[in-house]
């Protein structure tokens, strides 16, 4: 079986409301275990997870679902929240606190936003090339 046909390692489908950044990071670490991802790649995934959970809590009424799937070469993080407003990259203002999270997520991953009647799902996909793995 080659990497492309390996089943995804999936965890955290049912995690949602009240999920902290620390809980989401621990879940991500468990999903990534055994994937032979370099430390920098793991750090990138954990940064994306932290920023997405934090943004949902601060700007979108809180996390309603969190899911992470990983297989060789691809990690997908999904966060669902209560807001129908899509995330936006704020103008660059280094002297002002905050405003860097969504920009950082977009630098580390390919993102997609799906709006629902009761909120949205934000998806970030990191590939082997993005995580420094060849």
Query: What percent of the chain has pLDDT above 90?
Result: 56
pLDDT of 29 above 50:
yes
In this prediction, residue 103 has a pLDDT band, given cuts at 50, 70 and 90, of very high
pLDDT of 17 above 90:
no
Tell me how far apart the alpha carbons of residues 74 and 27 are, in angstroms, rounded to a whole number.
16
Contact status, residue 88 vs residue 31, Cβ threshold 8 Å? no
Average pLDDT over residues 78-106: 87
Q: What is the CA radius of gyration of the chain?
A: 15
Of 10 and 122, the structure prediction assigns the larger pLDDT to 122
Q: At what angle do helices 39-59 and 101-108 cross, to 10 degrees?
A: 140
> Could you tell me the CA-to-CA distances from 96 to 56, 71, 77, 91 in Å, in that order?
20, 38, 28, 11
Average pLDDT over residues 53-75: 90
Question: Residue 129: what pLDDT?
Answer: 67
Query: Tokens 């979108």 correspond to what residue?
Result: 60
Domains in the chain, ordered, with CATH? Answer: 9-127 (3.30.565.10)
């Amino acid at each position: 079986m080659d990497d492309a046909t390996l089943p995804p390692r999936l965890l955290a489908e049912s995690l949602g409301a009240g999920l902290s950044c620390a809980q989401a990071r621990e879940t991500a670490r468990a999903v990534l275990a055994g994937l032979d991802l370099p430390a920098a790649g793991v750090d990138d995934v954990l940064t994306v997870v932290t920023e997405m959970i934090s943004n949902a809590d601060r700007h979108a009424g809180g996390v309603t679902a969190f899911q992470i799937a990983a297989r060789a070469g691809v990690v997908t993080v999904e966060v669902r929240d209560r807001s129908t407003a899509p995330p936006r990259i704020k103008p660059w203002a280094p002297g002002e606190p905050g405003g860097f999270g969504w920009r950082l997520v977009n630098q580390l991953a390919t993102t997609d936003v799906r709006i629902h009647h009761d909120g949205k799902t934000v998806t970030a996909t990191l590939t082997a090339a993005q995580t420094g793995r060849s």
